[in-house]
Amino acid sequence: MSEKNVAILGATGVVGQQMLQCLEERDFPVRELVPLASQRSVDAGRTVSFRGEEVPVRLAEPAAFEGADIVLGAADDATARELLPEAVRRGAVCVDNSHAFRLEPDVPLVVPEVNAGDIAGHHGIIANPNCATIIGLVPVWPLHQAAGLTRLIVSTYQAASGAGLPGLLELEREIRCVAAGEEVGESAPFQYQLAENLIPQIGGFNEEGYTSEEMKMQNEGRKIMHLPELRVNCTCVRVPVVRSHSESITAEFERPLSVERAREILESAPGVRVVDEPSSSRYPMPLETSDQDLVWVGRIRRDLSAPDGTSSITFWCCGDQIRKGAATNAVQIAEYLV
């Protein structure tokens, strides 16, 4: 692979830092690394560690993209909308982790295990999907290829890492408060105390009572899998877990699909590890699935509520939100560009 100049927009954040680690782990052909962040990080003299060296952080501004071949975006929506088109104008291809461009009709939205072919149709920007969408679709896609997906019923159990560094720090603070018998007080960025609690809201509500996070599974899933009529019902819950999202998924299909066949398909699916030994209490959990890149799948079973009992499968999956749900997926996309 030819070497590329790689810029990371938002290099000092949780996802940006993980992108650096993934580039290093996967031996991505980086000629020059350009870490970009806010003026505050620059004023503080921040550096990032990459391949044994400390690389100074530069100010995220249009001129900083001169000479960049690939830009990995790990910034908020507003920053992405402002700066990534400037990078494209200067000749870079951007892989963006924000929500800013995901549903734009001319921007590919990509999970490499599902629709890597869409990358070729980019016009300078490729969008990284929502973390829960990525983790859910990696195992759903091979089952769809076998039996024709028609409907998804999903409940997600999303870690504090989904709220970025503020979410991680807040959960750690709350745990310390609870352990010391102290009042937790204000819980920003969460609506309520997360420690010893569950919060059935991620994002704002629409007129139907669904949150923005819940609608991503439908809207992004339809685009990624090229299934514009896919029916999706999703409930997203924030849970007091540091990292790694979990999901309960019931998938309905056009054609019969046995539990045994579903397990065989998943055991050979890219990006999936089957851990499904209920008699030994072996199934995916956040503790085991954190800090790695596979989506673990278990509790594979027949949907007892399905009318015919043969064309609906229920399973449980877990995946690291910061890695496969964000940084690793973006780096995988970038690998296709080189």
Q: Catalytic pick from 94, 236, 245, 317?
A: 245
Q: Which of 131, 234, 236, 317 is catalytic?
A: 131
pLDDT of 95 reads 98
pTM (predicted TM-score) = 0.96
pLDDT at 1: 67
Pairing of strands 30-37, 58-59: parallel
pLDDT one-digit tens code per residue, 208-232: 999 999 999 999 999 999 999 999 9
Active site residue 144: no
Q: What is the mean pLDDT of the chain?
A: 96
Q: What is the pLDDT of residue 307?
A: 83
Mean pLDDT of 83-106: 97
Q: What does the pLDDT average to over 276-292? A: 97
- pLDDT above 80: residue 309: no
In this predicted structure, the answer to whether residue 298 has a pLDDT above a threshold of 70 is yes
Label residue 183 by pLDDT band (50, 70, 90).
Answer: very high
d(CA 141, CA 143): 5
- Residue reference for tokens 């990624």: 224
Mean pLDDT of 72-91: 97
Task: Using the structure block, give the residue that is written with the tokens 């869409």.
Answer: 118
pLDDT tens-place string over residues 14-67: 999 999 999 999 999 999 999 999 999 888 899 999 999 999 999 999 999 999
Residue 170's pLDDT band, with cuts at 50, 70 and 90, is: very high
Contact 84, 9 (CB under 8 A): yes
Burial class for 216, CB neighbours closer than 10 Å (0-12, 13-18, 19+): buried
The domains found in the chain, sorted by start residue, are: 4-129+326-337 (3.40.50.720), 133-321 (3.30.360.10)
At residue 14, the pLDDT reads: 94
Q: What is the pLDDT of residue 155?
A: 98
